[in-house]
Amino acid sequence: MRAFQVETIGIQPRLTECAMIQPKGDQLLVRVAACGLNFADLLRIEGKYQEKSAPPFTLGIEAAGTVEAVGPEADPSWLGQRVSAFSGSGGLAEYATFAASRCTPMPRSMSFVDAAAFPTAYGTSHVALDHVARLQPGETLLVTGAAGGVGLTAVEIGKLMGARVIASARGSDKLAIARAAGADHLINSETEDLRDAVKALGGADVVYDPVGGDTFRAAMRATNPEGRLLIIGFAGGDIPQIPANHLLVKNISVMGFYWGGYLSFKPQVLTDSLTKLFDWYEQGKLKPHVSRTFPLEEANEALEFLRARKSTGKVVVTLGQDMQ
């Protein structure tokens, strides 16, 4: 089988031939049809992700495909099922093994490309906004990086939850995509002052920030009293230092959020969330935005497309199967 692997930290990954894998315990062997890319993949190449792996390891945090074999402790009814999986690694390969607890049967109407673009981005936004920040109908939600993989889903889900959504993104093309996802107000981060623009719109009750750096600092200054700031990531490369006295004076809360972390201490939160999200998908309320797909042979080009911030929504690598 072929797998796209990191052989040395900090060195460009490559497509390699490796031994066929077999499922153990409650694992499922999945013939992968598509794999969604994430900024976490870029961090793992550099050894900067919060979860470390010893090389060689296969990239690919989320994938979709068909179950072809099950481990001795797995339910045989999984055989033949089309599944979406959050794996932490392993998805950028022709075959992957995933714990059954990390696999979810796909809706009949969902394509493999949509399924590979779905769990991390939509799961992150839904659990962050619903379970952690407790976003309420009528509140104002500010989403930074609003045309990116997770930002765009936060716009969609925030609107579904009844919020007034302010989307901040770089350039008119990306803002147009955020508007199509449901944003009520648009801020061009290339030309407008984020703090002033948000305050002119009445401030933010909840901030969803995957960018970090100056963007986070500006958003914090535009947060209303009793507001909640969600730290989703640091795509801008700068981890901000938070002055605690500002939180005290403004009565605001800053909440760190790592979706994958729930697998180790409260996995039912993720299971319940994905059930809700797949139901919304089947009702036509969610529509994953995939800006581009690449074949497995061009996985490095796909990662560079993501690194250069040319993408909107998700980037997906396909593995030559029927994508339906």
Cα-Cα end-to-end distance for the chain: 22
Helix (H, G, I), strand (E, B) or coil at 41: helix
The count of residues in the chain is 324
Q: Which two tokens stand for residue 41?
A: 């993949």
Asked, as a colleague might, if the bond just before 56 is cis with ω within 30 of 0, I would say yes
DSSP string, 276-287: HHHHHHHTT---
CA angle 158, 163, 166 (to 5 degrees): 80
Record the pTM.
Answer: 0.88
The CATH code that applies to domain 121-260 is 3.40.50.720
In the prediction, which pLDDT does 230 show?
Answer: 98
* C-alpha distances in Å from residue 147, one per residue of 70, 120, 211: 38, 15, 12
Helix then strand then coil, % of the chain, to nearest 5: 35, 25, 40
Residue intervals in the chain for CATH 3.90.180.10: 2-118+288-318
What is the second-level CATH architecture of the domain 2-118+288-318? Alpha-Beta Complex (3.90)
Q: How far apart are CA 164 and CA 140, in angstroms?
A: 5
In the prediction, which pLDDT does 324 show?
Answer: 53
DSSP string, 197-256: HHHHTT-EEEEEESS-HHHHHHHHHTEEEEEEEEE---TTS------HHHHHHHT-EEEE
DSSP string, 9-26: TTS--EEEE-PPP---TT
Residue intervals in the chain for CATH 3.40.50.720: 121-260
Low-confidence ranges of the chain (pLDDT < 50): none
Buried b (16+ CB within 10 A) or exposed e, 243-277: eeeeeeeeebebeebebbebbeeeeebbeebbeeb
> Residue 68 carries which DSSP code?
E
